[in-house]
Protein backbone atom coordinates (compact mmCIF):
# COMPACT_ATOMS: atom_id res chain seq x y z
CA UNK A 1 0.00 0.00 0.00
CA UNK A 2 1.44 3.35 -1.01
CA UNK A 3 1.85 6.19 1.43
CA UNK A 4 1.45 9.91 0.79
CA UNK A 5 3.67 10.77 3.74
CA UNK A 6 6.88 12.46 2.57
CA UNK A 7 10.11 11.81 4.45
CA UNK A 8 10.84 14.46 7.04
CA UNK A 9 13.16 17.17 5.81
CA UNK A 10 16.25 17.74 7.94
CA UNK A 11 15.91 20.70 10.27
CA UNK A 12 18.24 23.55 9.28
CA UNK A 13 20.57 24.59 12.09
CA UNK A 14 20.46 28.33 12.69
CA UNK A 15 22.78 30.88 14.22
CA UNK A 16 20.39 31.08 17.19
CA UNK A 17 20.72 27.31 17.76
CA UNK A 18 24.51 27.61 18.02
CA UNK A 19 24.29 30.69 20.28
CA UNK A 20 21.82 29.03 22.69
CA UNK A 21 23.85 25.84 23.03
CA UNK A 22 27.09 27.78 23.48
CA UNK A 23 25.53 30.14 25.99
CA UNK A 24 26.59 33.28 24.11
CA UNK A 25 24.94 36.04 22.11
CA UNK A 26 24.37 35.31 18.40
CA UNK A 27 26.65 38.26 17.54
CA UNK A 28 29.53 36.41 19.25
CA UNK A 29 28.89 33.35 17.08
CA UNK A 30 28.83 35.51 13.96
CA UNK A 31 32.11 37.21 14.89
CA UNK A 32 33.80 33.87 15.67
CA UNK A 33 32.73 32.56 12.25
CA UNK A 34 34.13 35.67 10.58
CA UNK A 35 37.37 35.58 12.63
CA UNK A 36 36.76 39.13 13.81
CA UNK A 37 40.13 40.28 15.29
CA UNK A 38 38.31 42.82 17.51
CA UNK A 39 36.20 40.18 19.26
CA UNK A 40 37.20 40.05 22.94
CA UNK A 41 36.24 36.69 24.45
CA UNK A 42 38.17 34.05 26.35
CA UNK A 43 39.96 31.46 24.17
CA UNK A 44 37.89 28.67 25.73
CA UNK A 45 34.66 30.49 24.76
CA UNK A 46 35.84 30.88 21.19
CA UNK A 47 36.78 27.20 21.04
CA UNK A 48 33.41 26.17 22.56
CA UNK A 49 31.57 28.06 19.84
CA UNK A 50 33.68 26.39 17.15
CA UNK A 51 33.10 22.93 18.67
CA UNK A 52 29.33 23.44 18.74
CA UNK A 53 29.33 24.71 15.14
CA UNK A 54 31.06 21.46 14.20
CA UNK A 55 28.79 19.25 16.35
CA UNK A 56 25.57 20.78 15.00
CA UNK A 57 26.82 20.94 11.42
CA UNK A 58 25.99 24.64 11.15
CA UNK A 59 26.70 26.18 7.75
CA UNK A 60 26.49 29.97 7.34
CA UNK A 61 24.13 31.37 4.71
CA UNK A 62 26.79 32.73 2.39
CA UNK A 63 24.35 34.60 0.16
CA UNK A 64 22.77 36.43 3.09
CA UNK A 65 26.15 37.11 4.63
CA UNK A 66 27.41 38.59 1.35
CA UNK A 67 24.45 40.96 1.14
CA UNK A 68 24.89 41.99 4.76
CA UNK A 69 28.65 42.60 4.62
CA UNK A 70 29.14 43.63 0.95
CA UNK A 71 31.67 40.82 0.58
CA UNK A 72 31.75 37.92 -1.87
CA UNK A 73 33.61 35.59 0.54
CA UNK A 74 35.67 34.44 -2.41
CA UNK A 75 39.35 34.90 -3.29
CA UNK A 76 40.96 34.39 -6.68
CA UNK A 77 44.30 32.68 -7.38
CA UNK A 78 45.91 32.92 -10.82
CA UNK A 79 48.72 30.46 -11.63
CA UNK A 80 50.74 30.19 -14.85
CA UNK A 81 50.10 26.50 -15.56
CA UNK A 82 48.21 23.72 -13.78
CA UNK A 83 50.62 21.18 -15.32
CA UNK A 84 53.44 22.44 -13.10
CA UNK A 85 53.11 20.42 -9.86
CA UNK A 86 54.57 23.30 -7.82
CA UNK A 87 51.34 25.27 -8.18
CA UNK A 88 49.22 22.37 -6.93
CA UNK A 89 51.01 22.67 -3.58
CA UNK A 90 50.51 26.45 -3.45
CA UNK A 91 46.80 26.03 -4.26
CA UNK A 92 46.42 23.47 -1.44
CA UNK A 93 47.84 25.90 1.10
CA UNK A 94 45.73 28.83 -0.10
CA UNK A 95 42.58 26.69 -0.24
CA UNK A 96 43.07 25.47 3.32
CA UNK A 97 43.59 29.02 4.61
CA UNK A 98 40.51 30.27 2.74
CA UNK A 99 38.37 27.49 4.22
CA UNK A 100 39.56 28.24 7.75
CA UNK A 101 38.56 31.88 7.27
CA UNK A 102 35.13 30.99 5.88
CA UNK A 103 35.97 31.90 2.27
CA UNK A 104 36.09 30.03 -1.01
CA UNK A 105 38.96 29.98 -3.52
CA UNK A 106 38.58 30.29 -7.28
CA UNK A 107 41.62 29.35 -9.37
CA UNK A 108 42.54 29.85 -13.01
CA UNK A 109 45.55 29.18 -15.23
CA UNK A 110 46.92 31.89 -17.48
CA UNK A 111 48.24 29.14 -19.78
CA UNK A 112 44.73 27.77 -20.30
CA UNK A 113 42.79 31.04 -20.34
CA UNK A 114 44.80 33.85 -21.88
CA UNK A 115 42.40 36.55 -20.67
CA UNK A 116 42.03 35.14 -17.16
CA UNK A 117 43.69 38.12 -15.48
CA UNK A 118 41.35 40.51 -17.27
CA UNK A 119 38.51 38.21 -16.23
CA UNK A 120 39.59 38.47 -12.60
CA UNK A 121 39.88 42.24 -12.85
CA UNK A 122 36.31 42.33 -14.14
CA UNK A 123 35.17 40.21 -11.19
CA UNK A 124 37.01 42.55 -8.83
CA UNK A 125 35.15 45.49 -10.33
CA UNK A 126 31.84 43.69 -9.87
CA UNK A 127 32.62 42.89 -6.23
CA UNK A 128 32.54 39.16 -6.86
CA UNK A 129 36.10 38.53 -5.60
CA UNK A 130 37.38 39.97 -2.29
CA UNK A 131 41.07 39.66 -3.13
CA UNK A 132 43.49 38.27 -5.69
CA UNK A 133 46.67 36.21 -5.49
CA UNK A 134 48.93 36.31 -8.56
CA UNK A 135 51.48 33.51 -9.01
CA UNK A 136 52.32 34.23 -12.67
CA UNK A 137 54.51 36.72 -14.50
CA UNK A 138 52.12 39.56 -15.38
CA UNK A 139 52.58 42.95 -16.96
CA UNK A 140 53.08 46.22 -15.12
CA UNK A 141 49.87 47.44 -16.75
CA UNK A 142 47.91 44.68 -15.00
CA UNK A 143 49.46 45.60 -11.67
CA UNK A 144 48.55 49.24 -12.24
CA UNK A 145 44.95 48.13 -12.73
CA UNK A 146 45.09 46.14 -9.50
CA UNK A 147 46.41 49.12 -7.55
CA UNK A 148 43.59 51.26 -8.93
CA UNK A 149 40.95 48.65 -8.07
CA UNK A 150 41.28 49.23 -4.31
CA UNK A 151 40.88 45.49 -3.73
CA UNK A 152 43.54 43.55 -1.77
CA UNK A 153 46.03 41.62 -3.90
CA UNK A 154 49.46 40.03 -3.50
CA UNK A 155 52.15 38.51 -5.72
CA UNK A 156 52.99 34.90 -4.83
CA UNK A 157 56.73 34.09 -4.99
CA UNK A 158 57.64 36.97 -7.26
CA UNK A 159 58.56 40.57 -6.65
CA UNK A 160 58.32 43.79 -8.62
CA UNK A 161 59.35 47.27 -7.57
CA UNK A 162 56.65 48.75 -5.39
CA UNK A 163 54.67 45.50 -5.30
CA UNK A 164 53.07 43.52 -2.46
CA UNK A 165 54.53 40.04 -2.22
CA UNK A 166 55.00 36.84 -0.23
CA UNK A 167 58.01 34.84 -1.44
CA UNK A 168 60.22 31.86 -0.63
CA UNK A 169 63.95 32.06 0.11
CA UNK A 170 64.92 30.89 -3.39
CA UNK A 171 68.47 32.23 -3.15
CA UNK A 172 69.07 30.06 -0.10
CA UNK A 173 67.66 27.04 -1.95
CA UNK A 174 70.06 27.60 -4.87
CA UNK A 175 73.00 27.97 -2.53
CA UNK A 176 72.12 24.76 -0.64
CA UNK A 177 71.78 22.77 -3.87
CA UNK A 178 75.21 23.82 -5.14
CA UNK A 179 76.86 23.34 -1.75
CA UNK A 180 75.61 19.74 -1.76
CA UNK A 181 77.23 19.11 -5.17
CA UNK A 182 80.48 20.77 -4.06
CA UNK A 183 80.54 18.61 -0.89
CA UNK A 184 80.45 15.53 -3.14
CA UNK A 185 83.57 16.74 -4.96
CA UNK A 186 82.04 18.29 -8.09
CA UNK A 187 83.74 21.34 -9.55
CA UNK A 188 82.28 21.64 -13.07
CA UNK A 189 78.75 22.44 -11.93
CA UNK A 190 76.28 23.76 -14.48
CA UNK A 191 73.05 25.62 -13.81
CA UNK A 192 69.91 24.80 -15.76
CA UNK A 193 68.16 28.05 -14.88
CA UNK A 194 64.54 29.09 -15.26
CA UNK A 195 63.18 31.72 -17.68
CA UNK A 196 65.63 34.60 -17.95
CA UNK A 197 63.14 37.29 -16.85
CA UNK A 198 61.47 35.24 -14.08
CA UNK A 199 61.99 36.54 -10.55
CA UNK A 200 62.31 33.04 -9.07
CA UNK A 201 64.93 32.16 -11.68
CA UNK A 202 66.93 35.28 -10.84
CA UNK A 203 66.97 34.50 -7.12
CA UNK A 204 67.95 30.83 -7.59
CA UNK A 205 70.68 31.89 -10.02
CA UNK A 206 72.00 34.30 -7.39
CA UNK A 207 72.25 31.39 -4.93
CA UNK A 208 74.14 29.30 -7.50
CA UNK A 209 76.61 32.09 -8.22
CA UNK A 210 77.13 32.84 -4.51
CA UNK A 211 77.92 29.20 -3.69
CA UNK A 212 80.32 28.89 -6.63
CA UNK A 213 82.05 32.15 -5.71
CA UNK A 214 82.42 31.12 -2.05
CA UNK A 215 84.04 27.84 -3.17
CA UNK A 216 86.40 29.69 -5.51
CA UNK A 217 84.90 28.05 -8.60
CA UNK A 218 84.77 29.78 -11.98
CA UNK A 219 81.41 29.79 -13.76
CA UNK A 220 81.98 29.34 -17.47
CA UNK A 221 79.36 31.03 -19.71
CA UNK A 222 78.45 27.78 -21.48
CA UNK A 223 77.62 26.12 -18.14
CA UNK A 224 74.56 28.29 -17.47
CA UNK A 225 71.49 28.05 -19.72
CA UNK A 226 67.89 29.21 -19.34
CA UNK A 227 64.70 27.24 -19.97
CA UNK A 228 61.02 27.43 -19.11
CA UNK A 229 59.68 25.45 -16.18
CA UNK A 230 58.56 22.43 -18.22
CA UNK A 231 59.99 18.95 -18.93
CA UNK A 232 60.45 19.90 -22.60
CA UNK A 233 62.35 23.03 -21.62
CA UNK A 234 64.56 21.09 -19.22
CA UNK A 235 65.35 18.44 -21.84
CA UNK A 236 66.34 21.00 -24.48
CA UNK A 237 68.48 22.93 -21.99
CA UNK A 238 70.37 19.84 -20.85
CA UNK A 239 71.12 18.94 -24.49
CA UNK A 240 72.76 22.38 -24.81
CA UNK A 241 74.82 21.86 -21.66
CA UNK A 242 76.05 18.48 -22.90
CA UNK A 243 77.31 20.17 -26.09
CA UNK A 244 79.78 22.33 -24.11
CA UNK A 245 83.49 21.75 -24.91
CA UNK A 246 83.91 20.38 -21.38
CA UNK A 247 80.50 19.14 -20.22
CA UNK A 248 79.57 19.39 -16.54
CA UNK A 249 79.66 16.50 -14.08
CA UNK A 250 76.75 17.94 -12.11
CA UNK A 251 73.76 20.19 -12.84
CA UNK A 252 71.67 22.32 -10.51
CA UNK A 253 68.18 22.50 -12.06
CA UNK A 254 66.00 25.46 -11.11
CA UNK A 255 62.68 23.58 -11.05
CA UNK A 256 61.50 20.01 -10.51
CA UNK A 257 59.44 19.93 -13.73
CA UNK A 258 62.53 20.97 -15.72
CA UNK A 259 64.52 18.25 -13.94
CA UNK A 260 62.12 15.56 -15.21
CA UNK A 261 63.01 16.58 -18.77
CA UNK A 262 66.71 16.81 -17.92
CA UNK A 263 66.71 13.23 -16.61
CA UNK A 264 65.07 12.05 -19.82
CA UNK A 265 67.61 13.94 -21.96
CA UNK A 266 70.52 12.47 -20.00
CA UNK A 267 69.17 8.96 -20.56
CA UNK A 268 68.64 9.66 -24.28
CA UNK A 269 72.26 10.84 -24.52
CA UNK A 270 73.46 7.53 -23.10
CA UNK A 271 74.47 8.95 -19.73
CA UNK A 272 73.94 7.19 -16.42
CA UNK A 273 72.69 9.40 -13.59
CA UNK A 274 74.49 9.81 -11.21
CA UNK A 275 77.55 7.89 -12.43
CA UNK A 276 78.12 10.23 -15.39
CA UNK A 277 76.08 13.23 -14.30
CA UNK A 278 74.58 14.30 -10.96
CA UNK A 279 71.27 16.23 -10.90
CA UNK A 280 69.61 18.23 -8.12
CA UNK A 281 66.50 20.42 -8.39
CA UNK A 282 64.53 22.99 -6.40
CA UNK A 283 61.15 21.78 -5.02
CA UNK A 284 60.30 18.36 -3.75
CA UNK A 285 57.23 16.53 -5.01
CA UNK A 286 55.96 12.98 -4.43
CA UNK A 287 56.90 12.22 -8.05
CA UNK A 288 60.58 13.00 -7.31
CA UNK A 289 61.04 9.79 -5.33
CA UNK A 290 59.44 7.72 -8.12
CA UNK A 291 61.72 8.92 -10.92
CA UNK A 292 64.59 6.70 -12.07
CA UNK A 293 66.83 7.44 -10.35
CA UNK A 294 65.09 9.15 -7.43
CA UNK A 295 65.69 12.89 -7.71
CA UNK A 296 67.67 14.77 -5.06
CA UNK A 297 65.82 18.01 -4.27
CA UNK A 298 65.63 21.10 -2.11
CA UNK A 299 62.25 20.93 -0.38
CA UNK A 300 60.51 24.32 -0.06
CA UNK A 301 57.44 25.29 2.04
CA UNK A 302 55.06 25.67 -0.90
CA UNK A 303 51.84 25.00 1.04
CA UNK A 304 52.89 27.51 3.67
CA UNK A 305 53.58 30.03 0.89
CA UNK A 306 50.00 29.68 -0.40
CA UNK A 307 48.57 29.85 3.12
CA UNK A 308 50.49 32.98 4.13
CA UNK A 309 49.72 34.77 0.87
CA UNK A 310 45.99 34.24 1.33
CA UNK A 311 46.10 35.23 5.00
CA UNK A 312 47.87 38.48 4.10
CA UNK A 313 45.25 39.35 1.48
CA UNK A 314 42.44 38.56 3.93
CA UNK A 315 44.02 40.52 6.77
CA UNK A 316 45.45 43.66 5.14
CA UNK A 317 43.82 46.43 3.13
CA UNK A 318 44.85 47.26 -0.47
CA UNK A 319 47.14 50.12 0.60
CA UNK A 320 49.00 48.31 3.38
CA UNK A 321 52.48 47.01 2.46
CA UNK A 322 53.17 43.28 2.22
CA UNK A 323 56.79 42.08 2.02
CA UNK A 324 57.18 38.65 3.58
CA UNK A 325 59.68 35.82 3.10
CA UNK A 326 58.50 32.33 4.08
CA UNK A 327 61.95 31.10 5.04
CA UNK A 328 61.43 27.73 6.71
CA UNK A 329 61.60 24.86 6.37
CA UNK A 330 64.08 24.60 3.47
CA UNK A 331 65.56 21.09 3.42
CA UNK A 332 67.97 19.04 1.35
CA UNK A 333 66.37 15.70 0.37
CA UNK A 334 69.11 13.35 -0.82
CA UNK A 335 68.11 10.58 -3.24
CA UNK A 336 69.91 8.60 -5.92
CA UNK A 337 70.48 11.29 -8.56
CA UNK A 338 73.56 12.79 -6.88
CA UNK A 339 76.90 11.11 -6.12
CA UNK A 340 80.62 11.79 -6.22
CA UNK A 341 82.17 12.37 -9.66
CA UNK A 342 83.02 9.19 -11.56
CA UNK A 343 86.72 9.46 -10.66
CA UNK A 344 85.78 9.68 -6.98
CA UNK A 345 88.12 12.66 -6.67
CA UNK A 346 87.49 16.40 -6.75
CA UNK A 347 88.06 17.85 -10.24
CA UNK A 348 90.57 20.52 -11.03
pTM, entire model: 0.75
pLDDT of residue 334: 97
Q: Kindly state whether residues 79 and 148 are assigned to the same domain.
A: yes
**What number of CA atoms fall less than 13 Å from residue 63's CA on the CB side?**
0
Residues 195 and 273 both lie in one domain: yes
Same-domain check for residues 38 and 131:
no
Q: Does 298 reside within a domain?
A: yes
pLDDT of residue 4: 53
Count of residues for the chain? 348
1 in a structural domain: no
Burial-class residue 341 by CB neighbours within 10 Å (0-12, 13-18, 19+). Answer: buried
> Looking at the domain assignment, is residue 347 inside a domain?
no
Q: What is the pLDDT of residue 183?
A: 97
Residues 196 and 314 reside in one and the same domain: no
Each residue's pLDDT expressed in tens, for the chain with a length of 348 residues? 444 544 454 567 787 888 898 899 888 887 887 777 778 888 899 899 989 988 887 766 554 454 344 566 788 888 887 778 888 999 999 999 988 888 888 887 766 554 455 666 665 544 567 888 888 665 455 666 677 767 788 899 888 776 789 999 999 999 999 999 999 999 999 999 999 888 899 999 999 999 999 999 999 889 999 999 999 999 999 999 999 999 999 999 999 999 999 999 999 999 999 999 999 999 998 889 999 999 999 999 999 999 999 999 988 887 888 899 998 899 999 999 999 998 644 454
Alpha helices, DSSP H, located in the chain: 15-22, 26-33, 43-56, 62-69, 85-100, 116-125, 140-149, 170-183, 199-214, 231-242, 256-268, 302-315
Q: Number of structural domains, the chain?
A: 3
Closest to 69 measured CA to CA, from 77, 60, 78: 60
Residues 183 and 291 in one domain: yes
Residues 51 and 129 in one domain: no
**Per-residue confidence (pLDDT) for residue 72, from 0 to 100:** 64
Domain range for 225: 170-302
Looking at the fold, whether 148 and 242 belong to one and the same domain comes out as: no
Q: Are 244 and 276 contained in the same domain?
A: yes
Query: Does the residue 3 lie in any domain?
Result: no
pLDDT computed for residue 345 by the predictor? 42
How far, rounded to the nearest angstrom, does the alpha carbon of residue 214 sit from its chain's CA centroid? 29
d(CA 198, CA 170): 12
CATH (domain of 31) = 1.10.260.40
User: In this structure, are 291 and 320 located in the same domain?
Assistant: no
Residue 248 inside a domain? The answer is yes
Q: What is the pLDDT of residue 68?
A: 46
Residues 28 and 87 in one domain: no
pLDDT, residue 149, reads 67
Longest dimension (CA), the chain: 94
Q: Which of the 8 DSSP states describes residue 320? A: S
**Residue 292 falls inside a structural domain:** yes
Inside any domain, residue 95:
yes
Could you tell me the CATH number of the domain that includes residue 82?
Answer: 3.40.50.2300
Residues 155 and 106 in one domain: yes
CB 263, CB 251: distance < 8 Å: no
Q: What is the model's pLDDT at position 152?
A: 85
Distance CA 280, CA 265 (A): 15
337 domain residue, yes or no = no
pLDDT (0 to 100) of residue 1: 46
Nearest to 169, CA basis, from 89, 260, 283, 77: 283
CA distances (Å), 308 to each of 65, 79, 90, 105, 117, in order? Answer: 25, 16, 10, 14, 21
Instruction: State whether 187 and 293 are in the same domain.
Output: yes
Res 337: pLDDT = 97
End-to-end CA distance of the chain: 94
Amino acid sequence: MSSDVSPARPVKVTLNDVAMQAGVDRSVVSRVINNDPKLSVRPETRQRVRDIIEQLGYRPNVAARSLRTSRAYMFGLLVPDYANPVFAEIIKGAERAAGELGYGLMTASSAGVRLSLDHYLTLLGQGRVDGLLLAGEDSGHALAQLRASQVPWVLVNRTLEGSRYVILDDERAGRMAVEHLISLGHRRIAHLAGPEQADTSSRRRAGYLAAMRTAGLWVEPDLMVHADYTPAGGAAALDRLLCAPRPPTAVFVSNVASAVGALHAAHAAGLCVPRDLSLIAVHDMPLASHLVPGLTTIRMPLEELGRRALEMVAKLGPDEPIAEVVADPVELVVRESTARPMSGLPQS
